[in-house]
């Protein structure tokens, strides 16, 4: 968001677009709209102004489509995502089957598949492992917001079938730490409140991790999504936000929790 807001400040009146939602958080997207930064999906024809490539990254084909609009391009792809793109690019060129552990419909994964050409396979569950060709040389990467436990489990199963597989733990370190902190927090409170966009991969992962511990888990995008009566019955409540959750949204939920408990 900082990059987009800086572009708006320096824009000199130019139109500013993002290639789809910059991040998966409706409140953040609305805040960007207030600064004149608007998501765009249809790239037909020429575009006058600036197009910002979102943090999830895009495929090489999509990048060419944006170039063809004639717009000024600002690449805000997360450096962690760029690292995964680079790994895929190298191993696809060497004829490896690229196994991406992630959510098939997620924007980041769609972009990563573009770097794999026709060699990419998305694996979400153990059942999906059957789709990997038995004769393939295998390179394994992860969507940067994946659950680390799931990554370890699936890569172990892949290595049983493909001992020579090249595996890269490309989960963002900040997300890994947030997941570890959440697991510790789940043992210290009676319930967990997870705040973030419903389309946010890393936020949904936090909710899944909390639920897997058996603790009551409440998931919402903003303070109005959390029912006061549902929260009052817990003596202690843990609060965590996704990587894309704006500080002011998290603070709004925090203030509501404090008001309930006082």
Residue 120 CA to residue 125 CA, distance in Å, equals 16
The answer on 232 and 178 residing in a single domain is yes
Q: Indicate which CATH number applies to the domain containing 87.
A: 3.40.1010.20
Tokens of 248: 């002011």
Alpha-carbon distances of 119 from 100, 132, 168, 251, 259, rounded to whole Å: 11, 10, 17, 44, 53
What's the token pair of residue 136? Answer: 């393939």
Q: Residue 245 sits in which domain range?
A: 173-261
Per-residue confidence (pLDDT) for residue 82, from 0 to 100 = 97
Of the three residues 77, 97, 123, the one that is the final residue of a domain is: 77
Q: What is the rounded distance in angstroms from the CA atom of residue 179 to the CA atom of residue 147? A: 8
Give dist(CA 258, CA 262) in Å, integer: 6
Mapped onto helix, strand or coil, the DSSP state of residue 237 is strand
Q: Is the same domain home to 102 and 52?
A: no
Identify the CATH number of the domain in which residue 60 sits: 3.40.50.11270
Q: Which residue has the higher pLDDT, 176 or 207?
A: 207
Together in a domain, 239 and 180: yes
Which pLDDT value is given to residue 36? Answer: 83
* Average pLDDT value over all residues in the chain: 90
Same domain, 107 and 179: no
User: Same domain for 71 and 113?
Assistant: no
Query: From the candidates 31, 108, 181, 190, which is the catalytic residue?
Result: 108
**Do both 146 and 185 map to the same domain?**
no
Last residue of a domain, one of 103, 132, 167: 167
Strands, sheet with 166-167, edge to edge from the N-terminal-most edge strand = 120-123, 97-101, 138-142, 166-167
What is the pLDDT at residue 262? 66
The domain boundary residue, chosen from 135, 167, 199: 167
Residues 84 and 163 in one domain: yes
- Percent of the chain surpassing pLDDT 90: 56
Query: Does 67 qualify as catalytic in the annotation?
Result: no
Whether the predicted pLDDT of 184 surpasses 90? yes
Examine the pLDDT at 158 and tell me if it is beyond 70.
yes
């Amino acid at each position: 968001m900082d990059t987009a807001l800086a572009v708006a400040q320096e824009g000199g009146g130019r139109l500013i677009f993002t290639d789809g939602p910059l991040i998966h958080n409706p409140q953040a997207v609305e805040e960007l709209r207030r600064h004149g930064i608007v998501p765009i999906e249809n790239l037909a024809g020429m575009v006058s102004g600036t197009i910002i490539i979102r943090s999830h990254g895009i495929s090489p084909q999509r990048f060419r489509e944006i170039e063809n609009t004639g717009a000024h391009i600002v690449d805000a792809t997360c450096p962690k995502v760029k690292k995964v793109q680079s790994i895929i690019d190298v191993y696809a060129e060497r004829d490896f089957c690229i196994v991406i552990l992630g959510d098939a419909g997620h924007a980041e994964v769609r972009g990563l598949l573009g770097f794999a050409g026709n060699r990419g396979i998305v694996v979400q569950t153990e059942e999906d492992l059957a789709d990997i060709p038995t004769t393939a040389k295998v390179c394994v990467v992860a969507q940067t917001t994946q659950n680390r436990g799931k990554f370890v489990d699936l890569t172990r199963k892949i290595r049983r079938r493909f001992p020579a597989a090249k595996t890269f733990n490309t989960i963002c370190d900040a997300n890994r730490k947030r997941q570890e902190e959440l697991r510790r927090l789940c043992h210290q409170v009676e319930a967990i409140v997870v705040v973030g966009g419903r389309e946010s991969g890393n936020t949904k992962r936090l909710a899944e991790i909390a639920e897997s511990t058996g603790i009551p888990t409440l998931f919402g995008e903003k303070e109005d999504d959390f029912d006061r009566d549902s929260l009052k019955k817990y003596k202690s409540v843990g609060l965590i936000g996704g990587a894309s959750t704006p500080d002011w949204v998290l603070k709004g939920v925090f203030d509501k929790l404090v008001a309930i408990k006082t």
